[in-house]
């Protein structure tokens, strides 16, 4: 039996735990305010909020219900548009959207409202930028977004006096959200949750579901799966002797809020902004990104440039494997079926390490890369002492550019060396033409992004220079 709270109502269900929350709310609970736009997490029409007790605090995040198995709702509070309606009238979020003409055909609107409610409930700073960021996973085809921006600014204004320790009190007392929200914390504490049975051999492992539910949607509802998303043992980010360890089920959002990660990568928020959208970042796990083995996995490329290792486990035995050794060919992994990724380890960049991540896609945000690349390097007497350089979208696997790295070791940072390194890089990539670009484009683009790495990291030497 799976137990959770849906809006104000306790749910106790024995429906297949792989069913999507979208199908559950629309077709089993007849809550039709949550819409179906794409079933692949790319439009946000099905956005819901997921509230969870973490260290005795209730945290809400937006997620796309089309990619979320109901298993991942166990013990949580699921909020649909119906759950933020007052019996009569509009809450201020809805009022702002209506007043600004930010709803035309209305089909995407509940998703936007729910995302903005997520902004109000969230702990991030109340700024205009963050209000917009809250709807970065919502697509609207009618308005051109300017009216939605105006509404979002109003909502940011409305909540600027909230105190994060009493967010829910603030929102309920100001009639931004219904009063029942203040009862949820207690109710969740009382919710009994049976632990899901352990997987039998060869069951599918599901993390955030953001790839599996896109690729194998039909199979996922009924397939026997082991849900890792809420496995507390896999959700830690720790540091010891400068080695950072990230648990398999850590989400991108959790990386974003981690002081360890932000210390190691001061530009992490900018990098993460280029990766999918708020609701997807709230769901997508780091191990999922690695094991999906996409040649353009953003965090795979990120971690390759850190020369990361993964810890593989079959539940009994563990082994360490350099990430670059995991990929044998297109979607072909050096991993036994019974093995799963338990954690990722890498040396956290210190003040002497230069790190940069670049990504170009057809649409800058909420898109899959045409090419992505990351670099980390250390200098000694202005000479590159160590360097790791990775690239995605230029071969069948996420690539560790070994030849280019070898070339750059021991070189100083000059336009000439960078140009020559790019020539070397071209000898070790094999991009193909597909929907994300022609191979000629990807070839040129990776060269440009390597230039961008150095211009970004060494602006005094290279700023405003066109390296040919």
Partner 1 sequence: MKKSMKNIDSYTHVRGESVYLDDIPMLRGSLFAAVFDSPVAHGKIKRLELQEAAAAKGVVKIFTAADIPGDNQIGGIIPDEELLAHTEVHFCGMPVALVIADSEENAKAAVKKIILEVDPLPIITDPVEAAQKNELIHPPRTFQLGDIANAWQNCAYIFEGSTETNGQEHLYIETQGAYAIPKEHGAIRIYSSTQGPTAVQRATANVLNLPMNKVEVDTTRLGGGFGGKEDQATAWAVLCALAAHHLQKPVKYAMHRMEDMRMTGKRHPYSSRYKIGLSKDYKIIAYEASFYQNAGATADLSPAVLERTLFHCTNSYFIPHVKATAYCCRTNLPPNTAFRGFGGPQGMFVIEAAIVKAAEALHISPSVIQQKNLLQTGDEFPYGQKAESEALACWQKADELFQIEKIQNNIQEFNKKNNLVKKGMAVMPICFGISFTKTLMNQARALVHVYTDGSIGVSTGAIEMGQGVNTKMLQVAAAIFSVDPSLVKINSTNTYRIANTSPTAASAAADLNGKATELACLAILERLKNVAADIFQTKPEAVTLNENWVYVDDKKTDWNWNKLVLETYNRRINLSEHAHYTPSGIHFDTTKEKGHPFTYHVYGTAVISATIDCLRGRYEIDDVKVVHDFGKSMNSIIDRGQCEGGIVQGIGWMTMEELLYDKDGKLRSNALSTYKVPDIYSVPKEIIIEPLATQKENLAIFSSKAVGEPPLMYGIGAYFALHNAIKSFNPNANLPFDAPMTPEKVLMALYSKIPEPKESLVKAL
Restricted to residues 176-235, the positions that interact with partner 1 (CB under 8 A) are: 214, 218, 221
Decide if residue 107 touches partner 1 (CB under 8 A): yes
Decide if residue 13 touches partner 1 (CB under 8 A): no
Q: Which residues contact 141 (CB under 8 A, 6 or more apart)?
A: 105, 108
User: Is the separation of the CB atoms in 150 and 82 below 8 Å?
Assistant: no
How far apart (Å, rounded) are the C-alpha atoms in residues 79 and 21? 11
For partner 1, which is the closer residue by CB, 263 or 439? Answer: 439
For partner 1, which is the closer residue by CB, 45 or 286? Answer: 45
Binding to partner 1 (CB under 8 A) within 22-41 occurs at 26, 30, 32-40
User: Is the separation of the CB atoms in 300 and 323 below 8 Å?
Assistant: yes
For partner 1, which is the closer residue by CB, 338 or 415? Answer: 415
Rg, Å, the chain Cα set = 23
Binding to partner 1 (CB under 8 A) within 141-170 occurs at 141-149
Among 109, 282, 285, 324, which residue sits at the site for partner 1 (rule: CB under 8 A)?
A: 109
For partner 1, which is the closer residue by CB, 20 or 245? Answer: 20
User: Which x/- pattern, by CB under 8 A, does the window 322-361 give for partner 1?
Assistant: ------------------------------------x-xx
> What is the CB-side half-sphere exposure of residue 201 using CA atoms within 13 A?
4
Binding to partner 1 (CB under 8 A) within 368-427 occurs at 368, 370
User: Which x/- pattern, by CB under 8 A, does the window 423-452 give for partner 1?
Assistant: -----------xxxxx-xx--xx--xx-xx
Strand (E) or helix (H) holding 383: strand 383-392
Least Å distance, CB 39 to partner 1, is 6
Binding to partner 1 (CB under 8 A) within 79-98 occurs at 80-82, 85, 90, 93-95, 97-98
CB neighbours of residue 337 within 10 Å? 8
Among 63, 117, 126, 135, which residue sits at the site for partner 1 (rule: CB under 8 A)?
A: 135
Please give the angle made by the CA atoms of 198, 199 and 204, to the nearest 5 degrees.
145
Decide if residue 138 touches partner 1 (CB under 8 A): yes
In DSSP terms, which residues pair with 383 in a beta bridge?
A: 380, 412
Among 53, 75, 130, 139, which residue sits at the site for partner 1 (rule: CB under 8 A)?
A: 139
Q: Which residues contact 457 (CB under 8 A, 6 or more apart)?
A: 354, 356, 375, 377
Q: Which residues contact 376 (CB under 8 A, 6 or more apart)?
A: 305, 306, 307, 349, 353, 354, 355, 387, 388
Q: Which residues contact 237 (CB under 8 A, 6 or more apart)?
A: 244, 245, 246, 247, 250, 254, 255, 258, 260, 261
Number of residues that bind partner 1 (CB under 8 A): 81
Least Å distance, CB 228 to partner 1, is 23
């Amino acid at each position: 039996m799976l137990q959770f709270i849906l809006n104000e109502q306790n749910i106790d269900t024995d429906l297949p735990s792989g069913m999507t929350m979208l199908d559950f709310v629309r077709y089993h609970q007849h809550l039709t305010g949550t819409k179906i736009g794409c079933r692949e997490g790319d439009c946000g029409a099905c956005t819901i909020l997921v509230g969870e007790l973490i260290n005795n605090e209730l945290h809400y995040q937006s997620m796309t219900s089309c990619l979320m198995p109901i298993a991942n709702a166990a013990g949580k509070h699921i909020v649909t548009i119906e759950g933020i309606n007052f019996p009569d009238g509009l809450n201020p979020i809805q009022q702002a959207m209506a007043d600004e003409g930010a709803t035309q055909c209305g089909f995407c609107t509940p998703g936007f409202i729910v995302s903005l409610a997520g902004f109000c409930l969230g702990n991030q700073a109340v700024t205009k930028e963050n209000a917009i960021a809250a709807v970065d996973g919502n697509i609207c085809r009618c308005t051109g977004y300017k009216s939605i921006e105006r509404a979002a600014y109003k909502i940011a204004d409305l909540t600027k006096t909230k105190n994060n320790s009493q967010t829910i009190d603030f929102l309920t007392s100001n009639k931004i959200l219904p009063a029942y929200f203040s009862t949820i914390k207690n109710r969740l504490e009382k919710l009994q949750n049976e632990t899901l049975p352990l997987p039998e051999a060869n069951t599918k492992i599901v993390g955030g579901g953001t790839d599996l539910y896109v690729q194998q949607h039909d199979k996922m509802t009924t397939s026997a799966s082991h849900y890792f998303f809420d496995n507390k043992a896999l959700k830690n980010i720790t540091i010891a002797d400068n080695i950072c360890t990230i648990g398999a089920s850590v989400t991108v959002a959790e990386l974003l809020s981690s002081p360890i990660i932000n210390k190691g990568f001061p530009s992490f928020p900018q990098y993460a902004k280029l990766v999918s959208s708020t609701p997807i970042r709230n769901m997508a796990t780091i191990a999922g990104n690695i094991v999906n083995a996409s040649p353009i996995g953003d965090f795979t490329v990120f971690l390759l440039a850190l020369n990361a290792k993964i810890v593989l486990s079959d539940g009994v035995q563990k082994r360490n494997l350099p990430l670059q050794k995991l990929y044998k060919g297109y979607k072909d992994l050096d991993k036994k079926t019974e093995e799963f990724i338990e954690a990722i380890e890498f040396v956290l960049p210190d003040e002497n390490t230069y790190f940069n991540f670049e990504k170009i896609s057809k649409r800058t945000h909420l898109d899959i890369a045409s090419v992505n690349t990351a670099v980390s390097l250390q200098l000694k007497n202005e000479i590159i002492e160590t360097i790791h350089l990775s690239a995605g979208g230029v071969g069948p696997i996420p690539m560790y550019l070994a030849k280019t790295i070898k070339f750059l070791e021991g070189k100083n940072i000059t336009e000439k060396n960078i140009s020559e390194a790019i020539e070397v890089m071209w000898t070790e990539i094999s991009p193909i033409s597909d929907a994300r670009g022609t191979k000629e484009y990807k070839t040129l683009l990776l060269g440009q992004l390597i230039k961008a790495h150095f211009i970004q990291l060494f602006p005094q030497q290279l700023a405003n220079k066109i390296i040919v």
